[in-house]
Amino acid sequence: MKKERNLGIDLLKLVLALMIVVNHSIGHGLEQYDAALYENSKIALGFLWGVCNPAVNVFFIISGYFLIKRSVNKFIVLLEPQLILAIIYLLVFGFTIKKAILNILFPWENWWFITTYLILFVLSPYINKIIETLSDKEILKFVISFSFINLLQGYIFKGNLWGNGFSFAHAMNMYLIGIVLYKYREILREKNKNHIFYLIVYVICSVIMALLKIYFNTELGEMIDTYNNPLVVIQAICMFEFFVNLEIKTKRFNIDMFSKTALMVYLITDYPEIRQYIFLPMIAVVRKFNMPVIWIIINAIVIVFVVTLITWLNDIIMVRILKKIDRQYQD
């Protein structure tokens, strides 16, 4: 089943890239490097966090909706951001060649998301083949059962297999939800034609998450800040459904160019040895001018813009290299 390109999803990936930087700016930035500054702006930051928290879940839902098609080209595309980062590590941060290469070949030491996605990438043909043998109703029942197990054993009882949502099992759950959303897309569109319903539910869940984070974080802890939190899952589904149904028909603006930056943005802002160079300058500005929410958003926009520029230049260089190789081969 071939799926047409959806510019709403490309726009969603750009939004997700911004959300990832915002979330990492709060968690890996302010909370880690200046807890007092975070506490002073806890309410505003809590609401910002509540809005941006479901980004990772949405990425896995997108993968399920469009199904991961394993190929050499897609594997290269998946590794391309890591290769670019390896060069940056060597030239800018003085990493040894060995360390830079190890970060590419063995990402699980620092990046749980890319590790999980690589596992999903390897297993996707077999997962997809099993799914194809089931009817739509059987898939729905299977995913509901899988989600219930995730909720009960993963979220409530903290089973090791589910890792508070930071795991392959939870990513698989989101992937399967994406498949169900595709299977029942026509029914969902018919029932929610204006798509505002999804936005309303998303906002309600975001407010609840923010209030829990602000006032009950000490008592509830990991019950709040975890990807298999039911509220975060609902947020992710609603956010995805809102964007997937956007009708963007313009060809004047290449949104796809921006969507490619999402993975690199995640890798850069989630690497322990690089975070300080990204977030400490932002914290210095916040200390001087206050208004942390505004500066975090500005910081996110700047990072996404710079990363987009790097990936765009890389694409141009790679196209020229491949064309040159192709001409030499033909000669």
Question: pLDDT tens-digit profile of 13-42?
Answer: 889 989 999 999 998 888 888 888 888 899
* Per-residue confidence (pLDDT) for residue 1, from 0 to 100: 47
Residue whose C-alpha is closest to residue 140's, from 148, 271, 23, 55 = 148
214 and 44 in contact (C-beta within 8 Å)?
no
Distance separating alpha carbons of residues 44 and 23, to the nearest angstrom:
13
54 and 239 in contact (C-beta within 8 Å)?
yes
Distance separating alpha carbons of residues 219 and 224, to the nearest angstrom:
10
Question: pLDDT tens-digit profile of 173-204?
Answer: 999 999 999 999 888 888 777 778 899 999 99
User: Using alpha carbons only, what angle is made at residue 72 by residues 62 and 7, rounded to the nearest 5 degrees?
Assistant: 30
* Per-residue confidence (pLDDT) for residue 18, from 0 to 100: 92
Distance separating alpha carbons of residues 202 and 248, to the nearest angstrom:
21
Give the DSSP per-residue string, 272-315: HHHHHHHHHHHHHHHHHH--HHHHHHHHHHHHHHHHHHHHHHHH
Distance separating alpha carbons of residues 314 and 263, to the nearest angstrom:
15
* Per-residue confidence (pLDDT) for residue 61, from 0 to 100: 95
Q: Residue written as tokens 């998301």? A: 113
Distance separating alpha carbons of residues 195 and 257, to the nearest angstrom:
26
Cα torsion at 321, 323, 329, 330 (round to 10°)?
-160
Distance separating alpha carbons of residues 177 and 122, to the nearest angstrom:
19
Distance separating alpha carbons of residues 161 and 201, to the nearest angstrom:
29
Which tokens in the block code for residue 190?
A: 């018919």
Q: Which residues of the chain have pLDDT under 70?
A: 1-5, 70-86, 88-110, 249-260, 318-319, 322-331
18 and 301 in contact (C-beta within 8 Å)?
yes
pTM of the model: 0.86
* Per-residue confidence (pLDDT) for residue 160, from 0 to 100: 73
User: Using alpha carbons only, what angle is made at residue 318 by residues 5 and 14, rounded to the nearest 5 degrees?
Assistant: 40
Handedness of CA 243, 247, 249, 253 (dihedral sign): negative
* Per-residue confidence (pLDDT) for residue 201, from 0 to 100: 95
80 and 50 in contact (C-beta within 8 Å)?
no
User: Using alpha carbons only, what angle is made at residue 25 by residues 270 and 75, rounded to the nearest 5 degrees?
Assistant: 30
Segment (H or E) for 199 = helix 196-220
* Per-residue confidence (pLDDT) for residue 326, from 0 to 100: 60
Residue 297's Cβ-count burial label (10 Å; 0-12, 13-18, 19+) is middle
Distance separating alpha carbons of residues 196 and 134, to the nearest angstrom:
32
- Residue type present at position 33: Y
